[in-house]
Amino acid sequence: MADSKIESVLREDRVFEPPQAFVEQAKLKPADVEALYQAAQDDHEGFWAERAREHIDWHKPFTQTLDSANAPFFKWFTDGELNVSYNCLDRHLDTKGDKTAIIFESDDGEVEHISYRELHARVCRFANALKANGLGKGDRAVIYLPNVPQAAIAMLACARIGAIHSVVFGGFSAPSLRDRIDDAEAKMLITADGNYRGGKLIPLKDVADKALSQGGASIEKVIVLKRSGTDVAMTSGRDIWWHDAIDGQSDDCPPEWVNAEHPLFILYTSGSTGKPKGIQHSTGGYLLGAICTCRWVFDLSDDDVFWCTADVGWITGHTYIAYGPTACGATQVMFEGVPTYPEPDRFWKMVDTHQVTIFYTAPTAIRALMKHGDEYPQRHALDSLKVLGTVGEPINPEAWMWYRKMIGHDRCPIVDTWWQTETGGHMITPIPSYTPTKPGSVTRALPGIDADILDEAGKPVTDAGAGGVLVIKKPWPYMLRTIWGDPERYKETYFGMYDAHTYVAGDSAQRDEQGNFRILGRIDDVVNISGHRLGTMEVESALVAHAEVAEAAVVSRPHEVKGEAIVAFVILKSGEGNDELASDLRNWVAEQLGAIAKPEEIRFADGLPKTRSGKIMRRLLRTVARGDEVTQDVSTLENPQILEQLQARGS
Ligand code: PRX
């Protein structure tokens, strides 16, 4: 199935030139894009230095652009000083103080407009509250909030005082939250009583309390936003309501000027071991990436209404909600709810209501909405839209074409943006006025991004259609700086395969005849469920933590809406599995990790297919999970009879 998919994608020959009408009104004209590519080609460092001077207000200008002395621990603009919240807020006040920064729509449809002046005041007030509660420069605060303006306010307030935030997505479970708090040794937790998503209550404070009862000893204060109005326990001396914390605080808070390399945030993501990695981003380089990519890839400018449907708990919500649009002084929509509530036209209705010009979402959402039928987008004009974007996972050509026709009315360029938590911002993507697009193709690397495909020996793969390892051959300003508390793992994971200058993304890719990149999938034990990254080892560890489970192996298989779905092979300590236990185990995993990790299917077996040296043959399990014919060599299997059993037990 996977092979036939790749085949059909390779034969893709529909190419869409940037629409003339779009090009005419674009801020970034094809000639400007050409000039950027040329400048980056001529002088990589000089190109980024010029962008950094053009787009960032520096408190102290930098004199050194790139420091590679300690590769792969690169430093950018290293002697410069700035503050991210100053760049996102203060610098707009004179010219755009009354401009709407955020149009917030809640789950139940209430709308709030927040101007730049108001956002600035709210960030300052909360920043003062953070300081009053003992948070200072370099301290870590974990943010476990719904997708509401206060999440962005909390992030910007941390940035204002030089504290390092680590946002944990509100769908994560108590153990996941606890592990992240412990790893970051966070001093403060910022959460809410709860909130409604799709009409369902998410009990954030209860989960937070559970996390803190199991660990989180470093937490001194918990600030709690009243959102759902539900009853929650407040621990005296530790817990304080958000509204009490800001009560009496000044709306003036001078920014803490920090070094360009000062960590702005840590964001945990899955890798190929069971332990999530704390991806550490910088201040100066990260901010530059957020600004440049918003300008280049979305053609974002003053008269736009930008809407990124991600949650601030993911990197997409960091770069394209909290930081990029605000640093550009844009107006953006922020949404608390889900695309199908109260009806599957929620997104399209909101596009019309708020006159959204740039819309950025995930393929899984497009596929889910496509399944509901054309009548939902057809209820709405959608004529304000100019650019459509996708992110997070490969998009199948059918969904791409539907997006283009039904949402973009064949008028809007689609930018399929490839990037990662680690890359901080877009890396390989079309630029809408310039790059011809092709369904399922992420096209070409941005100016200043040196992407390539290598074989195992490190030789560039040049043949069209041949697959290889996707790498970035030169450092870029908005790359991750390290893994929090584990520099060795950083070196090993991202620079261990070739050399200290070649970043290995963890994806495989191929090029077509025109040199356009196409992402094929992960090369490690990471799966992508509805655009969310998950390590198979994390799910396996959660399963074996269950009292009845002896061993587990987790793989994925293609899924029509989610992209991939989890199939878990489980060996019990004793007895036979049944439907009830399967259901218990699925819920158990959701409790341990979060709903995203819930396996689609559990298959019980007496053993796992292993080689004589004891290695689980995962490729074989993947074949079995997909119901495909086994073509692999199974002669090295220690227990060949197990294969029949695994196949027979499939549903
Ligand atoms: O496999 C790639 C896939 O998502 C991974 C990064 O996941 P995460 O760090 O959670 O960041 C997601 C949001 C940036 C990548 O290694 N991926 C992301 N975007 C695309 C993609 N795969 C194909 N096409 C994309 N546009």
pLDDT digits (tens, 9 = 90+) for 35-85: 999 999 999 999 999 999 999 999 999 999 999 999 999 999 999 999 999
Average pLDDT over residues 10-24: 89
Burial 252-283 (b: 16+ CB within 10 A, else e): ebebbebbbbbbbbbbbbbbbebbbbbbbbbb
CA-closest residue to ligand 1 atom 10? 533
For the cut 70, the answer to whether the pLDDT of residue 1 exceeds it is no
Going by the annotation, the residues of the binding site for Mg(2+) are: 544, 546, 549
Atom of ligand 1 nearest to the CA of 395: 24
* pLDDT score, position 640: 81
pLDDT band at 641 (very low <50, low <70, confident <90, very high): confident
Cβ neighbourhood burial of 635 (10 Å; 0-12, 13-18, 19+): exposed
- The mean of the pLDDT values for the chain is 95
Give the Cα separation of 438 and 442 in Å (integer).
Answer: 8
State in Å: Cα 515 to ligand 1 middle: 20
Which residue puts its alpha carbon closest to atom 6 of ligand 1?
420
pLDDT of residue 206: 98
- Annotated binding-site residues for ATP read 392-394, 416-421, 507, 522, 533
The arithmetic mean of pLDDT across residues 444-451, rounded, is 98
Domains in the chain (CATH in brackets) are 20-509 (3.40.50.12780), 530-649 (3.30.300.30)
Q: Find, among 48, 17, 129, the residue nearest to 448 by Cα.
A: 48
Q: Read off the pLDDT of residues 462-491 as tens digits, 9 standing for 90 and up.
A: 999 999 999 999 999 999 999 999 999 999
pLDDT band at 13 (very low <50, low <70, confident <90, very high): confident
Residue 195, SS3 per DSSP: strand
Q: Convert the pLDDT of each residue in 165-218 to its tens digit.
A: 999 999 999 999 999 999 999 999 999 999 999 999 999 999 999 999 999 999
How far apart, in Å, are the Cα atoms of 497 and each of 145, 471, 500? 37, 10, 9
* Weakest-pLDDT range from 227-231, 307-311, 566-570, 611-615: 611-615
Task: Report the SS3 class of residue 359.
Answer: strand
Q: How far is the CA of 574 from the centre of ligand 1 (A)?
A: 39
Scan for tokens 């030089």, then name that residue.
Answer: 162
Q: How far is the CA of 419 from the centre of ligand 1 (A)?
A: 5
Report the pLDDT averaged over residues 229-239.
98
Protein residues with CB under 6 Å of any ligand 1 atom: 269, 315-316, 391-394, 416-421, 442, 505-507, 519, 522, 528, 533
Quick one: pLDDT band at residue 3, thresholds 50, 70, 90? very low
Percent of the chain exceeding pLDDT 90 equals 91
Exposure string (b/e) for 437-470, b if CB count within 10 Å is 16 or more?
A: bbbbbbbbbbbbbbbbbbeeeeeebeeeeebbbb
Binding-site members are 197-200, 316, 392-394, 416-421, 507, 522, 530, 533, 544, 546, 549
Closest ligand 1 atom, residue 532 Cα: 10
Residue 11 has pLDDT above 70, yes or no: no
- Encode 83-111 in three state secondary structure: CHHHHHCHHHHHHHCCCEEEEEECCCCCE
Reported confidence tier of residue 8, pLDDT bands at 50, 70, 90: low
Dihedral sign, Cα of residue 425, residue 273, residue 585, residue 558: positive
